[in-house]
Structure 1
Amino acid sequence: MPTTQQLTAAAIQMVSGDDLSANLERARVLVAEAAAAGAALVVLPEYFYLMPEDERERVALARPPGEGPIFRCLAELAERHRLWLVGGTLPLASPEPGKMFNSSLLFGPDGRCHARYDKIHLFGFDNGHERYDEAATMSAGEQVTSGDTPWGPLRLSVCYDLRFPELYRQRPAPTLISAPAAFTHTTGEAHWELLLRARAVDNLAFVIGAGQGGVHPGGKRTFGHSLIVDPWGTVLARHEDGEGIALATLDLDRQAELRRRLPALQHRRLD
């Protein structure tokens, strides 16, 4: 009798502040809680390590891959708990002066970094009351990235990327999509769940959206509502406000059956 292929996944939601050590400690606690609940794949939010009033404080933390306390923390967590960990984002060194790459890394149970994705689409928004310009402190990535996991390809993405569906349509077709984010409350309330569910349906993939969810230094407010969505667009788990974990069991056999019943990925005509 065939065994059912399942995966327990967790989206961790944080309300990170401007104290690096405190944020890393909260990440350690929450990843341990997710592991204790059976999670084999854990996604941390964007900027889990620092949400300062001055964006340039993150640039000051940028290091080459493999160096610095943030990278070491993520590697140690993945190895200690024997799980796959999407390290939200961390700042990696850029050749452009005064800038960083906002990078999402996939760590395996061996503690090694198995994939690196530098955020391609840099957020800009100005409604007269709120203004964001990531290009002022970030260099844009150029490479669509998937990580090989025991459950299939995991497409790495970050926050604003969700508005660009072509990123997710590149081959190989992802089994899983990670979307660590720090959506503003304004844009998140309007579009966050809509975008996560659309990307799940587009790709008949599981989407794990791990967000920041609260008020941060300088009064910035993020939307939260971390979600895990199945390939049919159904929300399997949600954590609305504040710190916490959204945990769900993903039925990969059902995903395969949905892809057989609706072979939309095979019907693509445009690349």
Structure 2
Amino acid sequence: MLTALLQVTSSDDPSENLKMVRALMTEAAGQGAQFILTPEVTNCVSTSTTRQREVLQHEEDDLTLAGLRDHAQALGVWLLIGSLAVKTHDADGRFANRSIMIDPQGQIVARYDKIHMFDVQVTETETFRESRNYRPGDRAVIAETDFGKVGLTVCYDIRFPHLYAALAQAGAHILTVPAAFSPVTGAAHWESLLRARAIENGSWVLAPAQTGEHPKTRGRTRYTYGHSMVVAPWGEVIIDAGTDPGIHIFDLDDSSVSEARRRVPSLTHLRAFDGP
């Protein structure tokens, strides 16, 4: 199954980002892609809470979601919107970082809210407190598709292997990791973490990523690592997209999952234990 990862540099203007993503989807579908994946926060990359409150919407009103659903239907493709930043009805006003799977009829088949919040001090000058503006999800999610079960995760989730083991044990052959990774942690950890999750679970790992310097209206400038990546179930890196925006297409072969899990059936060897 031809599958396309879109590597993009989203701004803090959702309408412009929608135009960009729709154009890339059209191009990818024209090259034969039947499953297309976009990165984390496809609709808006912003470091300004004020700007986010101005442009973000609730899911039921979100123009990016509506536009991408319509376009997936027009193209007849499966679409993973890596994530959208959306408003919630929570009393504290925090947003959700929500990954959404769309079928070729434009219908939503699964939603996943990012569980693990990126609250870290990467360097002396680069600090992130995702939980300040986003509330964490509390449920692991598998999307049922006509090409298999897809386990949905987002970015910082990649550091928590128990989530991926749970998804694989529940039948996922494909694990998605849309991201807007920091250049510092990306250079140090991105490939190693993705390969580890693929190897541990004998699963495809598909990781479409934001890249570069993100145009902004206000707030500090945000930079992301890029290097959208596809890792096969045996751990081979099939695609490393580098840092330029673009489309990266490959053949998603489900038989390689069965082969990897036959050779090292570690998912059948998991045992409960006490302690420490």
User: Normalising to structure 2: TM-score of the pair?
Assistant: 0.91
* Residues 138-157 of structure 1 aligned to structure 2 (within 5 Å): 138-157=134-153
Q: Distance in 2 between matches of 1:201 and 1:59?
A: 40
Change in 2 beyond 3 A, CA 1:134/1:150 = same
Unaligned runs of 5+ in 1: 1-6
Partner of 1:105: 100
Report matched runs for 1:55-204 at 5 Å. 55-94=49-88, 95-126=90-121, 127-170=123-166, 171-204=169-202
The structural deviation recorded for 1:251 is 1.8
Q: 1:132 to 1:30 in 2, by over 3 A?
A: same
Please name the residue that 1:4 is paired with.
none
Give 3-state SS (helix, strand or coil) of 2:224's partner.
coil
What code does the residue aligned with 1:104 have? S
After superposition, the Cα gap between the structure-2 partners of 1:165 and 1:96, relative to the gap in structure 1 and judged at 3 Å, is: farther
Give, in angstroms, the shift of residue 158 of structure 1: 0.4
Aligned partner of 1:46 in structure 2 is 40
Cα gap change, 1:175 to 1:56, in 2 (>3 Å)? farther
Corresponding residue of 2:253: 251
Conserved? CA contact 1:174–1:203, under 8 Å:
no
What residue is the counterpart of 1:19 in the other structure? 13
Query: Contact 2:43 / 2:85 at 8 angstroms: preserved in 1?
Result: no
- Cα displacement (A) at 1:210: 0.6
* SS in structure 2 at match of 1:139: coil
Identity of aligned residues (%): 35
Are 1:238 and 2:240 matched, yes or no? yes
Q: Distance in 1 between matches of 2:56 and 2:271?
A: 41
Q: Aligned partners of 1:182, 1:55: CA distance in 2, in Å?
A: 17
> Could you say which residue in structure 2 is the equivalent of 1:207?
205
Change (3 A) 1:52 1:38: same
Aligned length: 265
- Displacement of 1:222: 0.5
Query: What SS class does the counterpart of residue 252 from structure 2 fall into?
Result: strand
Which of 250, 264, 267 is equivalent to 2:266? 264
Q: Which runs of 5+ in 2 are unaligned?
A: none
Runs of 4+ in 1 over 3 A off after TM superposition: 59-66
Aligned with 2:22: secondary structure? helix
Q: Secondary structure at the match of 1:10?
A: strand
Aligned-partner SS, 1:242: coil
1:254 CA displacement? 2.5
Shifted more, 138-147 versus 91-100: the winner is 91-100
- For the residue of structure 2 that corresponds to 1:88, the secondary structure is strand
- Tell me if the contact between 2:13 and 2:55 (Cα under 8 Å) persists in the aligned partners: no
Post-superposition shift, 1:246? 2.0
**Residue type of the alignment partner of 2:135:** S
**Segment of structure 1 superposing worse, 248-257 or 22-31:** 248-257
Query: Residues 183, 39 of structure 1: CA spacing in aligned structure 2 closer, same or farther, 3 A cutoff?
Result: same
1:63 is displaced (CA, Å) by: 3.7
- Residues of 1 paired with 2:179 and 2:11: CA distance? 15
Gap change, CA 1:145 and 1:28, over 3 Å in 2: same
Contact 1:173 1:203 in 2 (8 A): no
Code of the residue aligned with 2:173 in structure 1: it is T
Alignment check: 8 A CA contact 2:14 2:55 kept: no
Q: CA deviation at 1:52?
A: 2.3
Distance 2:271 2:228 in 1: 33
